[in-house]
């Protein structure tokens, strides 16, 4: 008897997700799907709004990574304004972006995934959560709370509000940084280092015991996409995108925000409100790729900061060429956090960070603009078109999680096939399947907004099947 197993909701995940596992008559896994069950329609209801309201509006796509949307959106607006923002504003935004990355990764690693890693994938669900981690290993749980607070508090100091700060605007930021706030952030840095070192130390101790999981947690060759600088160091706010293949060879380089739409398209599957991004020259689904911490570390040659550089060398030893198992997203996330702390410290030591010129002013100078940045989960792209009055007439968002969608679906199928045999499964085995999705740290609220663009051919047939009219747009 064929059977359908439903995991609803997928917990310890941001947003609304369901998993369906389809079994054939013999009880073997035939197919598995990851459903995202929410869509709000930002790209459409943004139409008619003045473009400079976009950052504040787009921030509401997500409560974990509003800063990513603020920055990508502001960059798209700045392309419309044709301005380059002051250097200090760029550095302040870079710091804000990194602080967000630290808190978001801390949420993912400690609050959402560490229960599986510490207590066990098949441990009692009644204690398999953050509070259970704090009870079983207090220093680990508290390090997580502390790291998340580090990132959130920096955002609060810079932007006045932890979530949806109105500080990032088209043209730069609204306020310069005060010396007292800079000093407060610097005082928090030592504890942040201690917290991430504790986490890395613990993770490396337990990593070997998860080799069996690593083998089947979305472990397959794929392309990878991420931002890099010209010196091939990792980049989160500027730079250009590089696409590499499973062997590490560059497929396409220097993809700026303006060129993104030519390179990346999106497909729809009937079972999810999140679309499936793919590299257009290779078509769908062959052109699917992964983004996020794993991708970034696979693509970059260095991190650009001393401690993280050492960690990157160690990370790259996990495989010959790009690391393919999505389990190692967890490891990559911790390296990202270390880099973030180092980079924030570096930015703050420059006295120019207190400069008061932090905003460029301009009206509409171009009718189209795009901006991209690395969100914690991967590349984020905002693309707007406006009329002469500056009102949005079209908007297009490609979100990180949509770019991992194909890999997540392949991943849960791979894991389900491994863990569910002959129709047998337990709560624990289903949790393992969910844990595969957790490695990607998807942001499902974000992901239900993307769309690409294509000429649309519409053929109108009469009831005899004869072509009455044809429209190509």
Partner 1 sequence: MSDAVEVKTLIIDEQEVSARRGQTILEVARENDINIPTLCHLDGLGDVGACRLCLVEIKGSNKLLPACVATVYEGMEVSTNTERLRRYRRNILELLFAERNHTCAVCVSNGHCELQTMAQEQGLTHVRLPYRNPELAVDASHERFTLDHNRCILCTRCVRVCAEIEGAHIWDLMGRGEACTVISDLHEEWGKSACTRCGKCVQVCPTGALFDKSKVGSDQPKNPDFLPYLNLMREAR
Partner 2 sequence: MSKLKLATVWLDGCSGCHMSFLDMDERLLELAELVDVVYSPIVDTKEFPDEVDIALVEGAVASVDDEKKIKKIRAHSKMLVAMGDCAITGNVPAMRNPIGPETILDRAYIENASAQAQIPCVVVPKLLKIVRPIHEFVKVDVYLPGCPPSADTFHTALTALVTGGPLDVSALTRFGA
Query: Segment 227-266, which members bind partner 2 (CB under 8 A)?
Result: 265-266
Residue 450 and residue 402 in contact, taking contact as beta carbons nearer than 8 Å: yes
Number of residues that bind partner 2 (CB under 8 A): 72
Closest distance between partner 2 and the C-beta of residue 420, in Å? 17
Q: Of these, 27, 53, 60, 393, which contacts partner 2 (CB under 8 A)?
A: 60
Residue 361 contact, options partner 1, partner 2, none, Cβ 5-8 Å cut-off depending on partner type: partner 1
Q: Of these, 1, 205, 247, 270, which contacts partner 2 (CB under 8 A)?
A: 270
Of 169, 174, 173, 171, the residue nearest 55 (C-alpha): 169
Pairing of strands 3-7, 392-398: unpaired
Looking at the Cβ atoms of 64 and 358, the one nearer to partner 2 is: 64
136 binds partner 2 (CB under 8 A): no
Closest distance between partner 1 and the C-beta of residue 52, in Å? 5
Burial class of residue 190 (count of CB atoms within 10 Å of its CB; 0-12, 13-18, 19+): exposed
Closest distance between partner 1 and the C-beta of residue 69, in Å? 12
Closest distance between partner 1 and the C-beta of residue 57, in Å? 5
Residue 89 CA to residue 359 CA, distance in Å, equals 7
Query: Segment 62-91, which members bind partner 2 (CB under 8 A)?
Result: 62-64, 66
Residue 258 contact, options partner 1, partner 2, none, Cβ 5-8 Å cut-off depending on partner type: none
Q: What phi and psi, each to the nearest 5 degrees, are found at residue 2? A: -75, 150
C-beta neighbour count of 372 within 10 angstroms:
26
Nearest-5° Cα angle at 405, 331 to 377: 40
Looking at the Cβ atoms of 60 and 316, the one nearer to partner 1 is: 60
302 binds partner 2 (CB under 8 A): no
Closest distance between partner 2 and the C-beta of residue 79, in Å? 20
396 binds partner 2 (CB under 8 A): yes
**Both structure tokens of 5:** 């197993």
Residue 428 contact, options partner 2, partner 1, none, Cβ 5-8 Å cut-off depending on partner type: none
Q: Of these, 82, 131, 206, 350, which contacts partner 2 (CB under 8 A)?
A: 131
Residue 316 contact, options partner 2, partner 1, none, Cβ 5-8 Å cut-off depending on partner type: none
280 binds partner 2 (CB under 8 A): yes
Residue 403 CA to residue 285 CA, distance in Å, equals 11
Tracing tokens 């930015």 back to the chain, one arrives at 347
Looking at the Cβ atoms of 152 and 372, the one nearer to partner 2 is: 152
Residue 115 and residue 132 in contact, taking contact as beta carbons nearer than 8 Å: yes
Closest distance between partner 1 and the C-beta of residue 387, in Å? 8
Closest distance between partner 2 and the C-beta of residue 63, in Å? 3
Residue 331 CA to residue 312 CA, distance in Å, equals 10
Looking at the Cβ atoms of 143 and 173, the one nearer to partner 1 is: 173
Residue 5 contact, options partner 1, partner 2, none, Cβ 5-8 Å cut-off depending on partner type: none
3 binds partner 2 (CB under 8 A): no
Looking at the Cβ atoms of 172 and 378, the one nearer to partner 1 is: 172
Which one of 248-256, 305-313, 364-372, 450-458 is the stretch in contact with partner 2 (CB under 8 A)? 450-458
Using CB under 8 A, list all residues that contact partner 1.
48-50, 52-53, 56-57, 60, 160, 164, 166-167, 169-170, 174-175, 361, 363, 389-391
Closest distance between partner 2 and the C-beta of residue 251, in Å? 18
Is the omega angle on the peptide bond into residue 9 within 30 degrees of 0, that is, cis?
yes
Q: Of these, 21, 29, 32, 43, which contacts partner 2 (CB under 8 A)?
A: 43
Residue 351 contact, options partner 1, partner 2, none, Cβ 5-8 Å cut-off depending on partner type: none
Closest distance between partner 2 and the C-beta of residue 8, in Å? 7
Residue 105 and residue 72 in contact, taking contact as beta carbons nearer than 8 Å: no
Nearest-5° Cα angle at 342, 339 to 348: 135
107 binds partner 2 (CB under 8 A): yes
């Amino acid at each position: 008897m064929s059977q359908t197993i439903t995991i609803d909701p997928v917990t310890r995940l941001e947003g609304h997700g369901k998993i369906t596992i389809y079994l054939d008559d013999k009880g073997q896994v035939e197919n598995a799907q990851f459903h995202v069950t929410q869509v709000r329609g930002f790209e459409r209801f943004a139409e008619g709004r003045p473009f400079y309201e976009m950052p504040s509006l787009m921030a509401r796509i997500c409560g974990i990574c509003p800063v990513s949307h603020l920055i990508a959106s502001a960059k798209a607006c700045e392309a419309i304004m044709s301005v380059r923002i002051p250097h200090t504003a760029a550095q302040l935004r870079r710091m804000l972006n990194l602080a967000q990355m630290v808190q978001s990764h801390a949420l993912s690693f400690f609050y959402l995934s560490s229960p599986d890693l510490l207590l066990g994938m098949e441990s009692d669900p009644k204690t398999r959560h953050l509070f259970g981690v704090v009870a079983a290993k207090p220093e680990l749980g508290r390090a997580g709370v502390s790291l998340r607070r580090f990132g959130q508090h920096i955002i609060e100091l810079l932007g006045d509000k932890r979530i949806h700060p109105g500080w990032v605007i088209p043209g730069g930021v609204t306020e310069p940084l005060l010396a007292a706030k800079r000093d407060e952030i610097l005082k928090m840095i030592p504890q942040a280092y201690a917290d991430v070192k504790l986490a890395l130390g613990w993770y490396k101790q337990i990593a070997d015991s998860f080799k069996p999981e690593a083998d089947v947690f979305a472990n397959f060759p794929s392309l990878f996409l991420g931002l890099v600088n010209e010196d091939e160091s990792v980049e989160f706010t500027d730079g250009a995108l590089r696409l590499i293949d499973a062997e590490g060879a560059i497929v396409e380089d220097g993809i700026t925000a303006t060129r993104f739409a030519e390179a990346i398209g999106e497909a729809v599957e009937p079972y999810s409100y999140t679309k499936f991004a793919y590299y257009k020259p290779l078509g769908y689904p062959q052109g699917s790729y992964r983004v996020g911490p794993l991708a970034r570390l696979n693509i970059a040659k260095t991190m650009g900061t001393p401690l993280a550089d050492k960690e990157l060398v160690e990370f790259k030893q996990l495989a010959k060429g790009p690391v393919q198992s999505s389990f190692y997203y967890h490891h990559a996330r911790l390296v990202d956090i270390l880099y973030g702390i180092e980079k924030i410290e570096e930015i703050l030591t420059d006295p120019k960070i207190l400069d008061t010129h932090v905003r460029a002013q301009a009206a509409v100078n171009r009718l189209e603009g795009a901006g991209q940045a690395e969100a914690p989960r991967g590349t984020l792209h905002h693309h707007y078109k406006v009329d002469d009055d500056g009102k949005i007439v079209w908007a297009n968002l490609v979100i990180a999680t949509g770019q991992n969608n194909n890999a997540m679906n392949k991943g849960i199928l791979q894991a389900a096939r491994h863990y569910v045999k002959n129709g047998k499964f337990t709560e624990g085995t289903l949790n393992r399947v969910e844990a595969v999705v957790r490695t990607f740290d998807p942001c499902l609220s974000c992901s239900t907004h993307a769309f690409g663009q294509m000429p649309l051919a519409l053929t109108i047939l009469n009831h005899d099947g004869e072509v009455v009219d044809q429209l190509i747009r």
